[in-house]
Amino acid sequence: MNFDGTKHSHCRYNPLKDEWVLVSPQRLSRPWQGRVEDDDSGDTNNNQQSTNPLCPGAIRGKAGQPNPFYEHTFVFDNDYPALLSDIAADENEKNNDDDLFRCHVARGVCKVICFHPDSNLTLPRMTLDDISHVIKTWIDVYQDLASKYQWVQIFENRGDMMGCSNPHPHCQVWATDFLPNEARVKHRTQKDYFTKHNGNVLLLDYIKRELNEFKKARVVIDNEHWLVVVPYWAVWPYETMLLPKRHVLRLSDLTDDEQIGLGQIMKQLLIKYDNLFNTSFPYSMGWHGAPTGDLSNEDCSHWQLHALYYPPLVRSATVKKFMVGYEMLAQAQRDITPEYAAETLRNLSSEIHYKDKKNT
């Protein structure tokens, strides 16, 4: 039979991570009798000051610190951090050439950013002014940590399905004195592309190709300053990448107009996500940009800022994609094509959140 990429299995290359993903659209007809998750589409009242430690005025953490009665965002050091900043020098830092038992001290800080005082108000239902406070707080925290650490990872885990331990809208920021795996690979691949293509930036070339392609098959939404696509090499069913159209190295380099456009396009995208299955769409998202700290002294022109959204839902609000078996032991695999996912999201034209429709 003749190959048809919408029906037949094939592999796609991810130049950012130097790896392949197996696309298997023929599996969509597979009956599902596996695990079904709880539907998180109902309204819940999370805003209970006496029990939620992230609410304004609540008592939080091992030391029993009271939160301020904040009106927009609130930043604090994680009470249970994965990294420590005050570790003394160790022999492992000097003798780090053991090919079998290599180790180095990992220093860093972990912070939490609460998005809003209302526990029931997730990002897609916030006002653009509220979202602008989140973006400005991201940038402020990023700038502070970028002066001291090589990598600043802003990320949000949304929903129980993604291991979020508190439903109050928030994200985390982990800053490290080393480049973590994902950053290290992207630092190499973008630099290799930059060298091979006479100073062209990988993701800027990618943006041009997506915007110039017939029918813009993987474009979900765009505005003057930003583009949202389901990447050609996407792994998760409705994975998206959010990129500035201008060459931007780091979050702190965004202009005021780009910050405004970012708030607008984030709200549009997250409404689409929630409206897809009429549920509070779970995902892990985060920002990747050029390294910081002492690495900011190097030429990082090969980098392009981008955010990634990794949502697990695939068939409905209760059926998610599992990364097990072949995915863990061989390579990533997906069923629906990126083009199908982009078209599905693109066709969700309503800019009103499904919960707000119920209230009108």
Please tell me which residue, 97 or 54, carries the higher pLDDT value: 54
- Please compute the mean of the pLDDT values over residues 166-194 and round it to a whole number: 96
- pLDDT at residue number 316: 86
**Please, what is the Cα angle at 270 between 164 and 285, to 5 degrees?**
45
* Residue in 8, 104, 133, 170 annotated catalytic: 170
Average pLDDT of the residues in 26-48: 55
DSSP H helices, 238-281, are: 256-276
Phi/psi-derived region of residue 159, left when phi > 0, alpha when psi is between -120 and 50, beta in every other case:
left
pLDDT recorded at residue 44: 47
Which residue carries 């609000």 as its tokens? 317
Q: What is the arithmetic mean of pLDDT over 297-306?
A: 97
Token pair of 234, please? 């996407």
Does position 31 have pLDDT exceeding 90, yes or no?
Answer: no
Q: 3-class DSSP state for residue 162?
A: helix
- pLDDT for 234 equals 98
Q: What is the pLDDT of residue 6?
A: 80
- pLDDT confidence of residue 42: 47
Confidence of residue 129 (pLDDT cuts 50, 70, 90): very high
- Output the pLDDT for position 215: 84
Q: What is the mean pLDDT of the chain?
A: 90
Q: What are phi and psi of 341, to 5 degrees?
A: -65, -45
Rounded to two decimals, the pTM is 0.93
170 is an active site residue = yes
Q: Are 340 and 240 in contact (CB under 8 A)?
A: no
- Identify the DSSP state of 84: B
pLDDT digits (tens, 9 = 90+) for 47-92: 455 578 999 999 887 778 899 999 999 999 999 999 999 888 766 5
Q: Is the pLDDT of residue 233 over 80?
A: yes
Listed residue (199, 50, 214) closest to 119, CA to CA: 50
Higher local confidence (pLDDT), 56 or 161: 56
User: CA nearest 42: which of 305, 301, 278?
Assistant: 278
Residue 28 is predicted with a pLDDT of 66
Q: Which domains does the chain have, with CATH numbers?
A: 54-91+101-347 (3.30.428.10)
- Structure confidence by residue, pLDDT tens digits, 235-290: 999 999 999 999 999 999 999 999 999 999 999 999 999 999 999 999 999 999 99
Structure confidence at residue 47 (pLDDT): 45
Can you give the pLDDT at residue 63? 74
Q: Does the structure show a pLDDT above 60 at 37?
A: no
Give the pLDDT of residue 175.
Answer: 98
Least confident segment among 34-48, 149-163, 292-306, 313-327 = 34-48
pLDDT value of position 61: 78
- Out of 154-163, 195-204, 220-229, least confident range: 154-163
